[in-house]
Amino acid sequence: MGLLVSIRSLVWCQFLACSFFILLFGWHIYQGDDLTALMYLSGSVVIIFTLLSGQDPSKKNLQLLNRLVFAGYTLVSLILLLLAPQKNSFLHLSLYLAYPLLAFYLLPFRVALLFVIGFSILANLLLMLQLEGAFRAIYILAFWLVTLLTSLNRFTHFTRQEALQKQLNRDPKTQLLNQDQLFTDLQKEQERAEREATCLGVICFTSIENFSLVEIKELKGYFAPYEGIYSVQSANKLVALVPLATPQDLQAHKKKLTQHLPHLTLSFQITSTEQSLASDLKAFTTEPGLAK
């Protein structure tokens, strides 16, 4: 990963956070405080895991593992709160302030919210037992303030993201127009072809593997700017809408594409009746793919 990309993707920030987790782990080991050190170690494992696995929602196994790792971190934090002897410095408690941030970053919104609520209630009970006096009041107040602040902040971002997702007409991964836009454009192009007495060709692409950005770029090279390529639900399928002057023009496309893209399964269709094509395409986009 290039330096600029890592700066933009904030990997440097994760690295630094991880370094400080490890540094504080080493410091507490040096001071003989094994329990606190264990908490820092589990924190660094959480960050390292995020760095290695990324946050791809399509990888179900990784998502499950992510939740398990985070559950482990939560457990270690709670055990430390339960067993922590009275210390001179309560600085390690500041790590609990970062808990909601880690939860909301690592997990999907609803799961993270459950983790945060569960952790906050249990941590609050344990803090009531372990701490005392004005310090207890100040710490619990700070803890709830940060938890509330983070939850509200995440909620506002979540609702904004949801609203934007609804407005999207492109696939964030491939940057191609998405399936919703495909059906809107299909109807529009069919009506336009009827009005202009031309035809509309539909080309469906299926690959064994999911389409990569390089393949998509290569594929775009075979089409004119007005011939739209669309992402569909399955990542190994694409659809192109090709306005044609006559039905024979599709043959030229067919010849060119089968010659240059022998590794893809292609299907060519000329629009006939609106209903049947839309239903055919719906079936194509939803039927199980060949990709891994």
Partner 1 sequence: MSSEVNPTYPRASASLYLVLSLGLGALAFKVYLSGYYQAILLPTLLTPIFIALGSWRWHTANRYTHDPAAVTALLALGLLLLFQPETSTNITQWHWIAFCYPLLAFYLLPTALSLAFCLLLLAGLLHLRLHSHSIEDQLTFSGQFLLLMFIACFYAISNLLKIKQLEHLVGLDKVTGFFNRRHLTQRLNAEVSRARATKKPLALLLVELNQYPEIQKELGQLLADNFIREASKLCKLNCRTGDEAYRYDEQTLLLLIPNTTINGALVLRSRLYQHLLQELTSDLGPLDVIITPLELQIGEQVADLEMRIANSCYHSLSDRVEDKL
The per-residue DSSP string of 174-229 comes to: T-SB-HHHHHHHHHHHHHHHHHHT-EEEEEEEE-SSPPPHHHHHHHHTTS-TTSEE
Please pick, from the candidates 121, 168, 252, 290, the single residue that binds partner 1 as defined by CB under 8 A: 168
Please pick, from the candidates 165, 248, 259, 273, the single residue that binds partner 1 as defined by CB under 8 A: 165
Please pick, from the candidates 35, 142, 266, 270, the single residue that binds partner 1 as defined by CB under 8 A: 142
Please pick, from the candidates 1, 2, 86, 195, the single residue that binds partner 1 as defined by CB under 8 A: 195
Candidate segments 121-129, 183-191, 209-217, 252-260, binder of partner 1 by CB under 8 A: 183-191
- CA torsion angle 42 111 65 77 (round to 10): 20
The yes or no reply on residue 83 touching partner 1 (CB under 8 A) is no
The yes or no reply on residue 128 touching partner 1 (CB under 8 A) is no
Whichever of 13 and 114 has its CB closer to partner 1, that residue is 13
Query: Scanning residues 238 to 277, which ones bind partner 1 (CB under 8 A)?
Result: 243, 245
Binding track over 145-164 against partner 1, x by CB under 8 A: xx--xx-xxx-xx--xx-xx
- Separation between Cα atoms, residue 25 and residue 47, nearest integer Å: 14
The yes or no reply on residue 122 touching partner 1 (CB under 8 A) is no
Say if CB 62 and CB 56 are below 8 A apart: yes
Please pick, from the candidates 32, 57, 225, 288, the single residue that binds partner 1 as defined by CB under 8 A: 225
The yes or no reply on residue 278 touching partner 1 (CB under 8 A) is no
Strand pairing category for 265-270 and 199-206: antiparallel
Contacts of 27 (CB under 8 A, 6+ apart): none
The size of the chain, in residues, is 292
Contacts of 80 (CB under 8 A, 6+ apart): 35, 36, 38, 39, 92
- Separation between Cα atoms, residue 116 and residue 79, nearest integer Å: 16
Binding track over 23-62 against partner 1, x by CB under 8 A: xx--x-----------------------------------
Q: Two tokens at 220? A: 């775009």
Could you give the C-alpha distances from 89 to 33, 126, 233, in angstroms and in order?
12, 17, 54
Candidate segments 62-70, 71-79, 88-96, 232-240, binder of partner 1 by CB under 8 A: 88-96
Residues that bind partner 1 (CB under 8 A): 8, 10, 13-14, 16-17, 20-21, 23-24, 27, 89-92, 94-95, 97-98, 101-102, 104-105, 134-135, 138-139, 142, 145-146, 149-150, 152-154, 156-157, 160-161, 163-165, 167-170, 172, 175, 181, 188-189, 191-192, 194-196, 198, 224-226, 228, 243, 245
